[in-house]
Amino acid sequence: MENLSEEKNLELFWNVQFIYELGLAMMELDSFEVEYSTQNGLRSFTALDIPDIEKFSKRTAYFQTIDDQPTLYSKLVSKNITRSLNQYLTHWIYPYKGKFHPQMIRALLNYMQINSGETIFDPFIGSGTSALEAQLLGINCVGVDISEVCYLVSSVKTNSFNFVSQLKLQLEDFIKFLLENKDNNVESLISDRITKIEKEEIRNFFRVAELIAHSDKSRRRRKDFSNSFLVNANKMLTSTIDYANCIEENNLSLGEVSIFNKDARELEFPENYFDGIITSPPYSIALNYVENDKHALKTLGHSIEKVKDDFIGVRGKGATKIELYDEDMKRAYTEMDRVLKAGKYCTIIIGNARIDKEEIQTIEKTIEIFKGMNYELEKNIEKIIFGLYNIMQKESILIFKKKGTTS
Ligand SMILES: C[S@@+](CC[C@H](N)C(=O)[O-])C[C@H]1O[C@@H](n2cnc3c(N)ncnc32)[C@H](O)[C@@H]1O
Closest atom of ligand 1 to 125 CA is 5
Query: 35 CA to middle of ligand 1, Å?
Result: 38
Residue from 94, 97, 145 to probe ligand 1 pocket by mutation (most atoms less than 8 Å from CB)? 145
b/e map of 10-40 (b: 16 or more CB within 10 Å)?
bbbbeebeeebbbbbbbbbbebbebebeeee
Query: 124 CA to middle of ligand 1, Å?
Result: 4
CATH superfamily of 102-148+254-402: Vaccinia Virus protein VP39 (3.40.50.150)
Say yes or no to pLDDT of 355 above 50.
Answer: yes
The contacts of residue 160 (CB under 8 Å, 6+ apart) are: 90, 167, 201, 205, 236, 240, 243
Closest atom of ligand 1 to 283 CA is 1
Pocket of ligand 1 (CB under 6 A): 96, 98-100, 124, 126-127, 129, 144-147, 150, 263-265, 280-283, 289, 310-312
Residues in the chain: 407
pLDDT above 90 covers a percentage of the chain that reads 76
Written as one string, the DSSP assignment of 227-275 is: HHHHHHHHHHHHHHHHHHHHHHHTT--PPPEEEE---TTS--SPTT-EE
More confident position, 262 or 354: 262
pLDDT of residue 1: 44
Residue from 262, 263, 311, 366 to probe ligand 1 pocket by mutation (most atoms less than 8 Å from CB)? 311
Task: Report d(CA 93, CA 177) in Å as an integer.
Answer: 24
Measuring from atom 26 of ligand 1, which residue has the nearest CA?
126
The residue-averaged pLDDT of 204-223 equals 89
pLDDT of residue 365: 95
If we measure between CA atoms, which residue out of 168, 16, 157, 24 comes closest to residue 88?
157
Say yes or no to pLDDT of 388 above 80.
Answer: no
**Burial class (CB within 10 angstroms; exposed 0-12, middle 13-18, buried 19+) of 385:** middle
The residue-averaged pLDDT of 276-283 equals 93
Closest atom of ligand 1 to 150 CA is 27
pLDDT of residue 184: 74
Q: pLDDT averaged over the chain?
A: 93
Query: 18 CA to middle of ligand 1, Å?
Result: 25
Query: 284 CA to middle of ligand 1, Å?
Result: 11
Say yes or no to pLDDT of 64 above 50.
Answer: yes
CA 64, 70, 76 angle in degrees (round to 5)?
80
In DSSP terms, 358 is beta-bridged to: 355
Neighbours of 275 (CB within 10 A): 21
If we measure between CA atoms, which residue out of 310, 354, 276 comes closest to residue 116?
276
Measuring from atom 3 of ligand 1, which residue has the nearest CA?
126
pLDDT of residue 43: 92
Query: 304 CA to middle of ligand 1, Å?
Result: 16
pTM: 0.95
Q: Where are the domains of the chain?
A: 8-77, 102-148+254-402, 160-249
The residue-averaged pLDDT of 124-128 equals 97
69-70 and 63-66: which strand pairing? antiparallel
How does residue 285 score in pLDDT terms, banded at 50, 70 and 90? low
Query: 192 CA to middle of ligand 1, Å?
Result: 28
Identify whether the C-beta of residue 333 lies closer than 8 Å to the C-beta of residue 369. yes
Task: Report d(CA 4, CA 1) in Å as an integer.
Answer: 9
Q: Tell me how far CA of residue 228 lies from CA of 42, 87, 213, 215, 297, in angstroms.
A: 44, 20, 5, 10, 19
Identify whether the C-beta of residue 147 lies closer than 8 Å to the C-beta of residue 306. no
Identify whether the C-beta of residue 243 lies closer than 8 Å to the C-beta of residue 127. no
How does residue 54 score in pLDDT terms, banded at 50, 70 and 90? very high
The residue-averaged pLDDT of 186-213 equals 97
More confident position, 293 or 87: 87
Q: What is the pLDDT of residues 308-351, one digit of tens each?
A: 889 998 888 878 888 999 999 999 999 999 999 999 999 999 99
Closest atom of ligand 1 to 127 CA is 9
Q: Is the dihedral of CA 167, 172, 178, 180 positive or negative?
A: negative
Measuring from atom 27 of ligand 1, which residue has the nearest CA?
126
The residue-averaged pLDDT of 56-78 equals 98
Neighbours of 120 (CB within 10 A): 30
User: Lowest-confidence range among 53-57, 341-345, 373-377, 380-384?
Assistant: 380-384
More confident position, 347 or 287: 347
How does residue 266 score in pLDDT terms, banded at 50, 70 and 90? very high
How does residue 163 score in pLDDT terms, banded at 50, 70 and 90? very high
Measuring from atom 7 of ligand 1, which residue has the nearest CA?
99
Query: 3 CA to middle of ligand 1, Å?
Result: 47
Rg (C-alpha) for the chain, rounded Å, is 22
Q: What is the pLDDT of residues 220-250, one digit of tens each?
A: 776 789 999 999 999 999 999 999 999 999 9
pLDDT of residue 284: 59
Query: 166 CA to middle of ligand 1, Å?
Result: 31
pLDDT of residue 110: 98
The residue-averaged pLDDT of 270-287 equals 88
User: Lowest-confidence range among 64-73, 94-103, 192-201?
Assistant: 94-103
More confident position, 241 or 393: 241
Residue from 108, 129, 142, 150 to probe ligand 1 pocket by mutation (most atoms less than 8 Å from CB)? 150
Query: 281 CA to middle of ligand 1, Å?
Result: 6
Residue from 266, 267, 289, 308 to probe ligand 1 pocket by mutation (most atoms less than 8 Å from CB)? 289
User: Lowest-confidence range among 115-119, 156-160, 312-316?
Assistant: 312-316
Measuring from atom 10 of ligand 1, which residue has the nearest CA?
282
More confident position, 143 or 288: 143
pLDDT of residue 385: 80
